[in-house]
Amino acid sequence: MEYHEVMTLLGYTRHEWMNRLQLLHSYSKLGKDEKVQEKIEESIRLADEERKLSNLNIPETLIWVLSFNWTYTQFRIKFQVDDSIPKIWEYDKKIREKLEAVVDALSDSAQEMELYEGLLHIRTREGEPIIELTFSGAFTGWDNLQMIGQKDDVLEVKIESLPEKKSRCTIVLTCN
């Protein structure tokens, strides 16, 4: 990663944290103590998830995840990392490439003015590390989504119908 890319990432991260602080400040001034407490707890959870992701020692994937919301304008992602994930550092580049390929395929099935909310969850299944990527929104082109499941590193693709012509697409990837 080049220095200017690091500076850009730091700038985006700082901007997000400043937005959170300004929101806390506003709620505090309005006397909305419950909202202040809720946002503080949310910020602590986010910082803890960032720490757990960082501790996996997968820098390419870490940077990809942290910059995701600025890179993919139609998608917003949250992430969760379970405790006790086996070492996956040696697969870092491969993990990032898999995630990029999946999101590119999802982008091909995205509607132009739709915002897709998602969760990236790094966890274990039967003792093996996996990545579960879930997005909800109004997808088109079911064939693109089904074709994702034909890739070797994809363990599962599940598509569920939701109200208002929306769907939830869950893709489970191997880490190795």
Q: Residue 121 contacts by C-beta under 8 Å, 6 or more apart in sequence?
A: 79, 80, 81, 82, 131, 132, 133, 134
Instruction: Assess contact for 9 and 66: CB atoms under 8 A.
Output: yes
Angle between helices 33-55 and 3-29 (to 10 degrees): 160
pLDDT (0 to 100) of residue 20: 92
26-85 pLDDT tens trace: 999 999 999 999 999 999 999 999 999 999 999 999 999 999 998 999 999 999 999 989
Nearest 5°: the CA angle 107, 111, 117 is 65
pLDDT (0 to 100) of residue 146: 74
pLDDT confidence band for 3 (50 / 70 / 90): confident
Domains by residue range for the chain, with CATH: 1-55 (no CATH), 58-176 (3.30.565.30)
Distance of alpha carbon 29 from the chain centroid: 32
Q: Is the pLDDT of residue 105 over 80?
A: yes
How many residues does the structure list for the chain? 176
115-162 pLDDT tens trace: 999 999 999 999 999 999 999 999 887 677 777 777 778 999 998 989
pLDDT (0 to 100) of residue 55: 95
pLDDT (0 to 100) of residue 5: 81
- Secondary structure (3-state) at 95: helix
Q: Which amino acid is at 100?
A: E
Higher pLDDT, 93 or 148: 93
Higher pLDDT, 108 or 27: 27
